[in-house]
Amino acid sequence: MLRFISLTVEDFGPFKGSQTIDFTSDDGVTFIWGNNGRGKTTLLNIFRYAIYGKFQNRRGTNVNLTMLSNRESRSEGRYGFKVVLRMSYDGEIYELTRQFKLRTGVSRPTKNDDYEQTVYLKKGTAILSSEDTDHILKIIMPEQVARFFLFDGELLQEYEELLMEDSDTGAQIKKSIEEILGVPVLTNGATDTAAVLGAYTNAKTRTAQSNKQTEQLGSQIATLEAALQGHNAELERLREELTQELGRKSELESEQNQNEHVKALLAEMKALENSIAEKKARREGLLSDIKNTTKDAWKGLIGFRVNEILSDVEAEVKVLEDKENSQKVAQHFLKEMKEAASRKHCNLCDQDIDDALILKMEERIKVLEGNYGGLTPEESGKLRTLQIRKATLETMRYPSSKERLEIYERQLAAVTVEISDDERKLKAVKEELEKHGDIEELSTSMQNCVKNLINCLKKIDNLKEGERQEAEQIANIRSSLATLNAKLDKTATGEDMVRARRRVELCEMIHNIFEEGIDAYRNNLKSRVEKDATDLFVRISNDPDYVRLEINDNYGLAIYHKDGGDPVPLRSAGFEHVVALALIGALHKNAPLRGPVIMDSPFGRLDPTHKENIIKVLPSLSEQVVLLAYTHEIDEQRARETLGSSLKKEYRLTRQTSFYTRIEPNQEVK
Amino acid sequence: MPMNKIEVEELLKVLEDIRAAKYPEIPSELIQSIVLAEFENQDNRTEGSIITRRLIDDFLRQSVHEG
């Protein structure tokens, strides 16, 4: 089986400098812990890049190589990146190196063409030719089955499609399943033996044509065989084209999803930019209000003292004004009294006053004139001065701006926080967008993608119809050929014909062994996959009443309850996840092709019981399992206890800076 | 590339059962050789078909003698 020995990554993604993960040569599990953004998925993609030279979740040829390299390394003048994967297979040690480096003469890359890729595979100490490199890589881990070795937990949901009839995704997965299980060995064998059978049948027909007795029959057979060959070739071509189109459809759909994601990011970026601009305007307004308020704030600050002085001045003014007013009132009263005394008649009560009372009044007037003498000239002057002072002080009274300023300050603090939050979100959105390359080209790319997808779907329909028609024609010709050949076998008696017929008979037997072997092997596999998947499912499932899985022709697995009856309908996302993992484990157990399983965040939808049960079965999935998980996705200590001696190594992706992650052996490992 | 018969053991077993039960005239070694050729050349269909053709030609030459 294939086993990874170590992976060295240099200046790739968040991994700055040269960093190495050593895997154990013992069977067991390796954990790589890392929080969001630390590079777990990038690490999974690095394995994919190492083996297949391709980047996942990128827009085909538009991958921006500069963006794949480490950002800090770039700022230090190191462009490009390198991956070295050491592996063992069939007792041999292989070292695969893939590197993108700047072409000679380029010091600062502006386009992908500024880079050149170096790929070489060492077997032991010898460097293999590029043909041998391709051949070995295709044999040890064909790309068609990559999904079972390098998988993203988030994509397990698509295995549900296996339960659906006529699902293109399901058909693609089924093809991959048969690939990993080795079915193509038989189908290719059947195709090749059929070709040999065809050649010997043609030879027999030629023999018949050269014989007078069977000449006419031979010619008829030859015509039909030529037609059959043509239809077979056409059917093969249609099938190949259909396979390519289905693959293209998956890519376009994935690009479409990617585009949708980018579109959503662009909308989010726009909304955040608008929100930031609006909040900044609000902040400017508040700053202006604060400035204006602060301009008169000194008046508020001296207000207290002004009020104190004003209060004293007002008190003094009041005393003097009261005195002045009293004198005025008294003067009026005295004037009335004097007039009454001189006329000996009171106008107020319209009565005459006798002389005795007039005397009293005159005495009283003398006393009062002494008491209400009015303001002295000094006092009058002082009153005028105080009144002016009072008026001045009143203009200096200003309501305190403290409360108003406090409100403004609170609003300013709130809007500043909102701006910071939005700017942080905007930065994250821009970083995410940056991963998708040139945004300017995106709009055209999106339109092209939709157009291409529509064309692709039409083409798939046409190809399927063409395939159906060809298959029908082939069946008719074969039936006619069988009748003619039976007639020929009865008629022909010559030695040549006997030998030719015998060769055809033996060829038919060989071909039949392969042809019949396909169905037998498939059925055999299905029952083994069903049994092993059930075994894993029961160990993982948290529902003891779900007792078995049943496999369909597409390798889809239905869950059955202990009470029997129909399969469990409307399975939860969590159970889809569990069934997919059980299927993958069973495939690994039954595949001729064996290798490491590297899984990224496979616990997303699962409850704690399921998570723990999956940890328990990890060592059963493959001899070498590498699990990429974020901290707290599972209980680390519990996972260690559950795995016990099956846990071989632990690494942690630790943040050095936003753009620099270090891969460090986990000190907590036992 | 070294052959790894263990990896295709299950596959061979299925073919051998069919051969032994229905086509005993065909030698099991021939089927095994074709399977291994196809297994090793999954990435190179032309090579797989050439080897298969050669294996069957050799067998037929030995089995059906010219008069």
Reported ipTM: the value is 0.94
User: Rounded to whole angstroms, how far apart are CA atoms A629 and A322?
Assistant: 90
Lowest mean pLDDT, pick from A553-562, B33-42, B57-66: A553-562
Do B56 and A590 lie within an 8 Å CB cutoff? no
Alpha-carbon distances, residue A68 vs A35, A266, A436, A439, A663 (angstroms): 20, 21, 10, 16, 18
Size of interface A-B (CB pairs under 8 A): 121
Helices (H) and strands (E) in chain B, counts: 3, 0
Nearest residue of B to residue A199 by CA position? B53
Nearest CB neighbour to A139, from listed B1, B25, B57: B1
Do B34 and A200 lie within an 8 Å CB cutoff? no
B/e letters for A597-617, b = 16+ CB within 10 Å, e = fewer, are: bbbbbbbbbbeeebbbbbbeb
**Cβ of A198 under 8 Å from any chain B Cβ?**
no
User: Rounded to whole angstroms, how far apart are CA atoms A330 and A350?
Assistant: 21
For A:481-520, CB contacts with B below 8 A are 495, 499, 502-503, 506-507, 509-510, 512-514, 516-517, 520
For residues A309 and A392, the answer to whether their CB atoms sit within 8 Å is no
For B:8-67, CB contacts with A below 8 A are 8, 10-11, 14-15, 17-19, 22-23, 25-26, 30-31, 34-35, 38-40, 42-45, 48-49, 52-53, 56-57, 59-60, 63-64, 66-67
Nearest CB neighbour to B4, from listed A90, A499, A520: A90
pLDDT attached to residue A142? 79
Residue A199 with chain B: CB contacts under 8 Å? 53
pLDDT attached to residue A670? 45
Do A592 and B8 lie within an 8 Å CB cutoff? yes
Do B49 and A524 lie within an 8 Å CB cutoff? no
> pLDDT by residue (tens digit) across A560-585?
888 888 888 766 777 878 888 888 88
Give the DSSP H/E element, type plus range, for residue A351.
strand A351-352
**What is the nearest CA distance from B57 to chain A, expressed in angstroms?**
9
Pinpoint the alpha helices (H) of A296-376.
Answer: 297-343, 355-371
Asked whether residue B4 carries a pLDDT value surpassing 50, the answer given is no
pLDDT attached to residue A164? 64
List, in sequence order, every residue forming a beta bridge with A628; answer none if it has no partner: A32, A600
pLDDT attached to residue A167? 63
Residue B62 with chain A: CB contacts under 8 Å? none
Q: Is the pTM of this model over 0.80?
A: no
pLDDT attached to residue A667? 65
B1 pLDDT band, cuts 50/70/90, is very low
Residue A512 with chain B: CB contacts under 8 Å? 18, 22-23
Do B23 and A502 lie within an 8 Å CB cutoff? no
**Cβ of A4 under 8 Å from any chain B Cβ?**
no
Instruction: Report, as ranges of residue numbers, the positions in chain A whose pLDDT lies below 70.
Output: 56-62, 154-155, 157-158, 160-169, 372, 398-400, 435-442, 570-571, 604-605, 667-670
pLDDT attached to residue A399? 65
pLDDT attached to residue A56? 61
Alpha-carbon dihedral angle through residues A35, A39, A41, A44, given to the nearest 10 degrees:
-120
Nearest CB neighbour to A192, from listed B22, B49, B57: B49
Nearest CB neighbour to A499, from listed B4, B45, B64: B64
User: Rounded to whole angstroms, how far apart are CA atoms A152 and A45?
Assistant: 10
The candidate with the shortest Cα–Cα distance to A581, out of A546, A563, A564, A606, is A606
Do B1 and A136 lie within an 8 Å CB cutoff? yes
- Give the CB-side neighbour count of residue B42, counting CA atoms within 13 A: 26
For residues B19 and A114, the answer to whether their CB atoms sit within 8 Å is no
Do B56 and A185 lie within an 8 Å CB cutoff? no
Whole-number average pLDDT of chain B: 86
pLDDT attached to residue A108? 86
pLDDT attached to residue A570? 67
For A:119-138, CB contacts with B below 8 A are 134-136, 138
Residue B48 with chain A: CB contacts under 8 Å? 188, 192
Nearest residue of A to residue B54 by CA position? A196
